[in-house]
Structure 1
Amino acid sequence: MGQKVNSHTRRRFLKSTVASVGAAQALPGIFGDNSGLLRDSVSEKKEPLSKKHKNLFNGDTCVFFYNPEKWQPGDYTFKRVINPRTGKLNTKETLQGGPFAAKAIHRFVDELADNDIDTFVINANASRAWYPSKTIPSILDGYKRGDRDFFRGHAICQGITEPEAVEDFLDTFSAFMDRYQDLLDAGVDWLAETSKACRRRKISPWVSIRMNDLHGSNNFEGSFFNLPLLKQKEMRLQNSSYGPHNPSYREGLNYEKAEVRDIMFRQIREVVEDYDFEGLELDWWRQPLCCEPNASEQTIEMMRNWIREIRKLTQARARKTGRPYPLGIRIPGRLDILRSIGLDVVTLCQEGTLDFICPSGFWCTTWDMPHDQLRKLLGDKVTIYGVIEDGANALATVDPERNTTQKLRYISASKEILHANAAGKLALGAQGIEWFNFYCTDQARIPGVITEYASLRNIYNLDYLRGRPKHYSFAIGGRSFNLIPFELPPQLPVVLEPVSQHPFKIPMCAEPANANLELVIQIVLKSDDPVTHLPVSFNGCWPNLVKEKTAKLLFPLGFYTDHVKENTAYNFRFPITLVKEGWNEIVVENGGKATLNVVCIELAVKPTEFNTKQ
């Protein structure tokens, strides 16, 4: 399964010349003035991207395959069966049925189309291509159905090391990967089928390429996830890890190496030229690793030139099809940190190389992404989307009836949280919404929590969101669900010393004054904190001292209705007219004599108490 060699003149040219600015400057027709092709494209008067593409759904390579019982219900079901390996009855129900078929892809796309998605951004790769690529190594190259050992080296990447646990992992994982094999055996390229399904339902098909996926990083040598280049230490980054960070998770492919740029360019060329897509997203959140930190100006220019070459591919495709082919990136919001690893987002946006950006969090959604500041910095040529991730934050919740706890809220099951998250982004100037990991709530199969696909509807329309119940929150720091230093620094948790105050800012949308709504601010503290005076002020109003102690969340998320016993919440009520369009400020005081630990702050726009009781 070695790396395939391509002798195409263009690719040899890139491999040999893009590595240095000196070479770039020697070729002004290609790099020196960014080419007339790019300049002419930017100068054209064209329809705003967000007019046609407001509601983007980003699906990873497994999106159809996670839940075949949902998308192919006549052929898959959960049963307790005898395990052919052990000869014993499985302790839990397992997914049975198949084979996996193209109709599941069409059924999934139907769900998106029926719920107002206008653009499906399908991810084509992790490290290897997950579709049957003719250009780079594919995920099942060399696999024979039933060869469990093909996947064995990936168990450790899932944190699985005990022998029996590894065998259980192989039982389920090999069955999962066989769904891809089902399509290969039937002669179906699922990536091409995705575009076909989108065309049938009049959804714009875009493609997303993960630029440095590291799902196999705990076993570079043995995991079938990894490109052959990742097995070569000299092709990986050496200086991206520091302090407590997992070193292997920071050893992505080093784009300073011509071999890395070449293989990624080959894959990008393939999905642009050989597939029926009409938009390309470069996903630099999987992972935000490019060049060695503190990249030189020469290295930064080399990466700008490489991305400009990708731009030429999309422009050539647009001319061939007669349809626009926008190019964009999904990124963290810390643009200076990105520049330090070679990605100059500002220049690429200002000059028009990039048509859109999707600034986001790694797993948890952002609550304070400064879309307004990004607009001032990046200029008017680029469309800026607000990205909703499936994780709210690391605030743990509990289902008291079943005594189960979740460390993360899967917000695709909460219309109130989704509406609030979108409203805050749109109020700061986001021009549409991109969904990421929305389907993971399906995959988790958590009792009482299920993805509400109807929540996709009208999410990009701020007027639609006004007056509706909303559940805002804040990002919470810590090891779980955060990727430092790329993540926006979280405002929480905070330790409040006695007789002190602390401000917190969050974007919200203004609400109709006559909608019988109120604002409830919930301050979540450690349960053993001695609370005496806890004044809370909102947007400069006189501090409110009237608090209601509660164990309840502001809105339930399925069966999860309460805070964990380690935390206690205090509710404060305010007139809805205090809510401003854009940034809003909460100031929390500690008027007591002991330290308080502010774990989280939640805000609810909901019907007034009087209205609720009628």
Structure 2
Amino acid sequence: MKSEKVKTRRDFLRAGLISATAVPVLPNLLEDSSDNGPFSPTDEQQTTPPKKPVLDKHRNLFNGDTCVYFYNPELWQPEDYSLKTVANPRTGKMGTKPVAVGGPFKAKAIHRYVDLLADNGIDTFVINANANRAWYPSKKIPSILDGYKRGDRDYFRGHAVCQGITEPEAVEEFLDNFTRFMNRYQDLIDAGVDWLAETSKACRRRKISPWVSIRMNDMHGSRNVEGSFFNLPLFKKEEMRLKHASYGLQNAQDRIGLNYEKPEVRALMFEQIREVVEDYDYEGLELDWWRQPLCCEPGASPETIAMMNDWFRQIRALTQRQAKKTGKPYPFGMRIPGALDQLKAIGVDVVTLCQDGTLDFVIPAGFWATTWDMPHDEFRKRLGDRVTIYGSVDDGANSLPTQNESGTVKERMRYISASPEIVRANAAAKLAMGAQGIEWFNFFCTDQPLIPGIRSDYTALRDIDKLDFLRGKTKHYCFSTAGAFFNPTPFELPAQLPASIGPFAQRSFQLAMCAEPADQNLELLVQVVLKAGEKPTYLPVSINGCWPNLKNESTDKLLRPCGSLTHLTNDHVGYTYRFPVSLITDGWNKIVVENQSKEPITLAALEIAVLSKTV
């Protein structure tokens, strides 16, 4: 007998909750079940690697957000779109920056983007399906354009403040541009195209594995809970939101996410996850806890943690049921901050979920800026041998401001996908620390900002998961630096820089790197970046215990350009040292900076490069 159709939101939530606690647990199709037996939450922990390492086929992962194709239609559908600075149709005033005009947006743009990934070695495309609402035309939960009619600018008005836009003229320009942007989704809806389904079609055509990513608490609309079209109806109910996830003054409005202690929240999110797993042609699931790291109220009790573990196991059972249906594995994992204990404090017990086999993979990452000192070695010790641990290469280098030579282009952050040397260094470091593959996050953002001379280099993705391929190639390492936008506490790893060094004192810094061959005419450069005006008498630097090197060259140039960004700003000055490349070891490397002078100095950044020797 067919179940009765769910007619109301309350019925929907109740049905979702009941089904979320009734999914049977199935054998783990990632493993040889004849050896390991069926998975059960009560089974003893198993620490031996799986007999069939299916995730070996997934080593070069690309994470694309819900807008990845739609940001730059002039790149993926150039015959129909072009960049133009256009006049406001209401006021006649010219806009402040070029925008993509043309259309309609078509499915061929999706296929072209996937072609680009396939041509450059990506084996797994992890496409994000949601923010707070679903961004695809969901049949189960509220979607981003529910109730929108083409040209209705006011539908988006309440979101302007969430973008930091409040001046009347700026709001009107935002509405013009955002309406143009969202109409690309409407173009596909009008043509009967579901872009999420089309993504998996494009992946299948190019033999890329399609995985789907669910953002677990996206806060893009949190600065206007009632007014932003981003927000779910459930999110607008105060009793469904977290009350104690914020402290201090840092982005308090971004920490009011949905409270997973509420059964309605778990039911709603499970229904979305069920839809993308059962109704779409995907074969892997990532839960993204960096958008945002908000789950239960901090200080979660053992009972709350056990409840969440059981909920995650129901999702695991859902993916296993889909694997049994298709006859193919369906890996299940999480993208997470590197702060395992803080995650457990909000109800996400990654250690237990990895050790008991609930999770097949984890991807420890930074929020926006990439991490340079993620302790993958410690993760392996804590999480066990059966889980795959990926390294995440995120698009921000750090918060060191840079500029082009003339100073006409200045940026608070380098977009590293414009620099193959920085890309190679970040990936090589994570692989040398034991990461079993790489996931790219926000790589495409470099295509968006319209900064002169800045563009993502997709060719840098090729073979990036192979450490032996990376050895001997030029690289540019950075250190993570603290900054309010880049380092949301307490989940971001504490940054080592900037750092003060007192008179006649020294500081030690730790960086993950990969060893290099000694026979390829390479040298190691270290650049110490200080505040302008600080001129220490002596500034010795040593690496991995070598005798301190005092010989340096003062410069305003970066070790390597990142697109058009080639120089430090006037706020800083660099001192560059040369060392033999043989000093580098696989894994952790120690750099010591001394201040042999009578005045304190502030170390703003440390930059390290492996380059061809110059005469």
Per-residue CA deviation, residues 439-489 of structure 1 (Å, 9 max, x unaligned), is: 000011211010000000000000000000000011001212111110001
In structure 2, the CA distance between the partners of 1:10 and 1:231, relative to structure 1 (3 Å rule), is: closer
Structure 2 counterpart of 1:217 = 222
Contact persistence 1:15–1:259 (CA under 8 A): no
C-alpha distance in structure 2 between counterparts of 1:327 and 1:16, whole Å = 18
SS at the partner of 1:228?
coil
C-alpha distance in structure 1 between counterparts of 2:170 and 2:144, whole Å = 23
Structure 1 counterpart of 2:579 = 574
Residue 299 of structure 1 pairs with residue 319 of structure 2: no
Q: 1:186 aligns with which of 177, 186, 191?
A: 191
In structure 2, the CA distance between the partners of 1:44 and 1:574, relative to structure 1 (3 Å rule), is: closer
Structure 2 counterpart of 1:143 = 148
Q: 1:251 aligns with which of 253, 256, 260?
A: 256
Structure 2 counterpart of 1:22 = none
Structure 2 counterpart of 1:525 = 530
Contact persistence 1:3–1:136 (CA under 8 A): no
Structure 2 counterpart of 1:117 = 122
C-alpha distance in structure 2 between counterparts of 1:319 and 1:240, whole Å = 39
Structure 2 counterpart of 1:201 = 206
1:7 deviates by 4.8
Q: 2:80 aligns with which of 72, 75, 81?
A: 75
Task: Name the aligned partner's letter for residue 271 of structure 2.
Answer: R
Q: 2:167 aligns with which of 157, 162, 165?
A: 162
In structure 2, the CA distance between the partners of 1:35 and 1:421, relative to structure 1 (3 Å rule), is: closer
Task: Name the aligned partner's letter for residue 454 of structure 1.
Answer: T
C-alpha distance in structure 1 between counterparts of 2:263 and 2:155, whole Å = 30
Structure 1 counterpart of 2:27 = none
Task: Name the aligned partner's letter for residue 67 of structure 2.
Answer: C
In structure 2, the CA distance between the partners of 1:492 and 1:49, relative to structure 1 (3 Å rule), is: farther
Relative to the length of structure 1, the TM-score reads 0.94
1:85 deviates by 1.5
Contact persistence 2:339–2:492 (CA under 8 A): yes
C-alpha distance in structure 2 between counterparts of 1:93 and 1:469, whole Å = 35
Contact persistence 2:214–2:288 (CA under 8 A): yes
Per-residue CA deviation, residues 99-153 of structure 1 (Å, 9 max, x unaligned), is: 0000000000000000000000000000000001011000000000011000000
1:609 deviates by 2.0
C-alpha distance in structure 1 between counterparts of 2:22 and 2:319, whole Å = 21
Per-residue CA deviation, residues 220-251 of structure 1 (Å, 9 max, x unaligned), is: 01000011111111111100111112221111
Gaps of 5+ in 1: 19-32
C-alpha distance in structure 1 between counterparts of 2:13 and 2:532, whole Å = 65
C-alpha distance in structure 2 between counterparts of 1:239 and 1:106, whole Å = 44
Q: 2:334 aligns with which of 307, 329, 332?
A: 329
In structure 2, the CA distance between the partners of 1:4 and 1:556, relative to structure 1 (3 Å rule), is: same
Task: Name the aligned partner's letter for residue 144 of structure 1.
Answer: K
Structure 2 counterpart of 1:371 = 376
In structure 2, the CA distance between the partners of 1:330 and 1:593, relative to structure 1 (3 Å rule), is: same
C-alpha distance in structure 2 between counterparts of 1:592 and 1:369, whole Å = 33
Residue 362 of structure 1 pairs with residue 343 of structure 2: no
Structure 1 counterpart of 2:106 = 101
Contact persistence 1:4–1:137 (CA under 8 A): no
Structure 2 counterpart of 1:62 = 67
Gaps of 5+ in 2: 1-6, 24-36
Residue 545 of structure 1 pairs with residue 550 of structure 2: yes
Task: Name the aligned partner's letter for residue 535 of structure 2.
Answer: P
Structure 1 counterpart of 2:285 = 280
Give the aligned length. 595
1:84 deviates by 1.6
Contact persistence 2:14–2:264 (CA under 8 A): no
Task: Name the aligned partner's letter for residue 543 of structure 1.
Answer: P
Per-residue CA deviation, residues 6-62 of structure 1 (Å, 9 max, x unaligned), is: 5598634257899xxxxxxxxxxxxxx996499699899542244200000000000
1:89 deviates by 4.4
Structure 2 counterpart of 1:502 = 507
In structure 2, the CA distance between the partners of 1:41 and 1:187, relative to structure 1 (3 Å rule), is: farther
Structure 2 counterpart of 1:87 = 92
In structure 2, the CA distance between the partners of 1:41 and 1:448, relative to structure 1 (3 Å rule), is: same
Q: Percent identity?
A: 63
1:91 deviates by 5.3
In structure 2, the CA distance between the partners of 1:17 and 1:196, relative to structure 1 (3 Å rule), is: closer
C-alpha distance in structure 2 between counterparts of 1:484 and 1:493, whole Å = 16
Task: Name the aligned partner's letter for residue 408 of structure 2.
Answer: N
Contact persistence 2:479–2:497 (CA under 8 A): yes
> Which segment drifts farther, 87-96 or 365-374?
87-96
1:92 deviates by 4.2
Contact persistence 1:154–1:216 (CA under 8 A): yes
C-alpha distance in structure 1 between counterparts of 2:524 and 2:8, whole Å = 58
Structure 2 counterpart of 1:24 = none
Structure 1 counterpart of 2:473 = 468
Structure 1 counterpart of 2:609 = 604
C-alpha distance in structure 1 between counterparts of 2:534 and 2:8, whole Å = 58
C-alpha distance in structure 1 between counterparts of 2:365 and 2:88, whole Å = 42
SS at the partner of 1:267?
helix
Contact persistence 1:34–1:308 (CA under 8 A): no
SS at the partner of 2:443?
coil
Contact persistence 1:4–1:136 (CA under 8 A): no
Q: 1:446 aligns with which of 405, 429, 451?
A: 451
Deviating beyond 6 angstroms after TM superposition, the runs of 4 or more aligned structure 1 residues are 15-18, 40-44
Q: 2:345 aligns with which of 316, 340, 350?
A: 340
Structure 1 counterpart of 2:133 = 128
SS at the partner of 2:271?
helix
C-alpha distance in structure 1 between counterparts of 2:319 and 2:104, whole Å = 36
C-alpha distance in structure 2 between counterparts of 1:145 and 1:294, whole Å = 46
SS at the partner of 2:604?
strand
C-alpha distance in structure 2 between counterparts of 1:530 and 1:76, whole Å = 52
Per-residue CA deviation, residues 161-202 of structure 1 (Å, 9 max, x unaligned), is: 111110000010000000000000000000000000000000
1:81 deviates by 3.6
C-alpha distance in structure 1 between counterparts of 2:583 and 2:110, whole Å = 46
C-alpha distance in structure 2 between counterparts of 1:38 and 1:398, whole Å = 56
Contact persistence 1:237–1:250 (CA under 8 A): yes
C-alpha distance in structure 2 between counterparts of 1:145 and 1:533, whole Å = 65
Task: Name the aligned partner's letter for residue 255 of structure 1.
Answer: Y
In structure 2, the CA distance between the partners of 1:407 and 1:88, relative to structure 1 (3 Å rule), is: closer
Contact persistence 1:441–1:451 (CA under 8 A): yes
1:399 deviates by 0.9
Task: Name the aligned partner's letter for residue 139 of structure 1.
Answer: I
C-alpha distance in structure 1 between counterparts of 2:337 and 2:384, whole Å = 18
Contact persistence 2:44–2:356 (CA under 8 A): no
Structure 1 counterpart of 2:598 = 593
Contact persistence 2:41–2:313 (CA under 8 A): no
Q: 1:556 aligns with which of 561, 578, 582?
A: 561
SS at the partner of 2:516?
coil
> Which segment drifts farther, 7-16 or 67-76?
7-16
SS at the partner of 1:154?
helix
SS at the partner of 2:234?
helix
In structure 2, the CA distance between the partners of 1:519 and 1:91, relative to structure 1 (3 Å rule), is: closer
In structure 2, the CA distance between the partners of 1:295 and 1:8, relative to structure 1 (3 Å rule), is: closer
Residue 477 of structure 1 pairs with residue 504 of structure 2: no
> Which segment drifts farther, 440-449 or 279-288?
440-449
Contact persistence 2:14–2:267 (CA under 8 A): no
Per-residue CA deviation, residues 388-441 of structure 1 (Å, 9 max, x unaligned), is: 000000000011225221000000000000000001100010000000000000
In structure 2, the CA distance between the partners of 1:320 and 1:588, relative to structure 1 (3 Å rule), is: same
In structure 2, the CA distance between the partners of 1:8 and 1:522, relative to structure 1 (3 Å rule), is: closer
